[in-house]
Amino acid sequence: MFFIEAVDRTTREVNQLIRRAIEQGEHDIHVYDPRGRHSLGVAFFQPVHLIFGGSVGFYCGAMGDGPTVEIQGSAGWSTGEGLQSGSVVVRGHAGNATGAAIHGGIVCVHGNAAARTGIGMVGGMVVIGGNVGFMSGFMMHDGDLIVCGNASERLGHGMKGGRIYVAGAVKQLGEGVTEAELTPDERTRVEGIAATAGLSYARPFRKYTANSAGGGTANAVDIGGAKNSPGLSG
């Protein structure tokens, strides 16, 4: 185990220390007190174990290909964005665009994730123990988005492929999304993934996919912006 104290170091210095430790053959690297720094542990391509002993900022573990990253606090936006393989596990909550555009690997959040979780996923798995926010699964192409809690509005809006599984309530499905049949084999698989991640869920999972028409045309859809109130319009 290799220890790095982050508190008086810049993001660049912390990442360089991680890189140097990996070059020296370390496999378990523990970064203490990250205090919400952005871009920690980005673009590492070795199968090492990186632990961040606190809360991190944006892009933690993004563009990884191999490392298993563990965040013991909460995480900011775009955690694990563009992951190719390996995993990013958040013990606390995560911000917007968690697991955005991942191609492979697993991004797992034990708490809640915010808006646009799993946006533009191309593959891999995003597994959330709590709730997900507005437009989660937006423009998904492939992969699995598994939500043990509830989903907010416009779930899977404009998705082209992939599968969304939600155990809790779905406030509103997005354009071009439909509920699909969950086969017993698939249920076993999804429940197995949740159990492996150590997550619990109160109700049985339900499955949502792009509808047979191949998904909505996201750009043409009114996404419900702020409307001027009658007294202020014109």
Partner 1 sequence: MYGVVGYLDRAGDGYAPIGSIALKMLRSLSPHAPDSTGAAFFMPQTHGQVLVAVKIEGDDERTLSGRVVRRVGRKANVVKSRMVGHTLQLVLDAVEDLRGVVDVVESVSEIGGVECFSVGRCLSIVKDVGSIEHLEEEYAFSTIRGTHMIGQARLATESRVDMSHSQPFWARPRPDVAVAHTGQVTNHHKLRRRYEAQGQRFFTDNDAEVIGTFLALEMEQGASLEDAMRASLGVLDGTYAYVAATEREMGAAKDFMGARPLVIAETDDFVVVSSEAAAVCEGLEQDLVTWEPDAKEVHVWPIRMPPVADPFGQSASL
Binding residues for partner 1, rule: CB under 8 A, are 33-38, 53-58, 73-74, 76-77, 92-96, 111-112, 114-116, 133-135, 152-153, 223-229, 232
Q: How far is the CB of 55 from partner 1 (least distance, A)?
A: 5
For residue 220, what are the contacts with CB-CB under 8 A and spacing of at least 6?
none
Between 22 and 50, name the residue whose CB sits nearer to partner 1.
50
- Strand 144-147 versus strand 85-90 pairing type: unpaired
Considering the complex, state which of residue 219 and residue 228 has its C-beta at the smaller distance from partner 1.
228
| Residue 231 C-beta: closest distance to partner 1, Å | 9
Residue at token pair 């799993």: 118
Q: Which of 125, 120, 38, 116 is nearest to 89 (CA)?
A: 125
- Report in angstroms how near the CB of residue 30 gets to partner 1 at its nearest: 14
Those residues whose C-beta lies under 8 Å from the C-beta of residue 162, and which sit 6 or more positions away, are 121, 137, 140, 141, 142, 143, 144, 145, 209, 210
Q: Which of residues 91 and 189 has its CB atom nearest to partner 1 in the complex?
A: 91
What is the distance between the alpha carbons of residues 229 and 103, in angstroms, rounded to a whole number?
42
| Residues whose CB is less than 8 angstroms from the CB of residue 103 and which lie 6 or more positions away in sequence, other chains included | 82, 83, 84, 122, 123, 124
**Backbone angles phi and psi of 196, in degrees to 5:** -60, -35
Q: Are strands 177-180 and 206-210 parallel, antiparallel or unpaired?
A: antiparallel
Between residues 93 and 207, which has the closer beta carbon with respect to partner 1? 93
CA-only gyration radius of the chain, Å: 19
If the CB atoms of residues 123 and 137 are measured against partner 1, the closer one turns out to be: 137
Least distance in angstroms from the C-beta of 3 to partner 1 = 16
Q: How far is the CB of 130 from partner 1 (least distance, A)?
A: 9
Residue whose CB is less far from partner 1, 56 or 177: 56
Smallest distance, partner 1 to C-beta of residue 54, A: 4
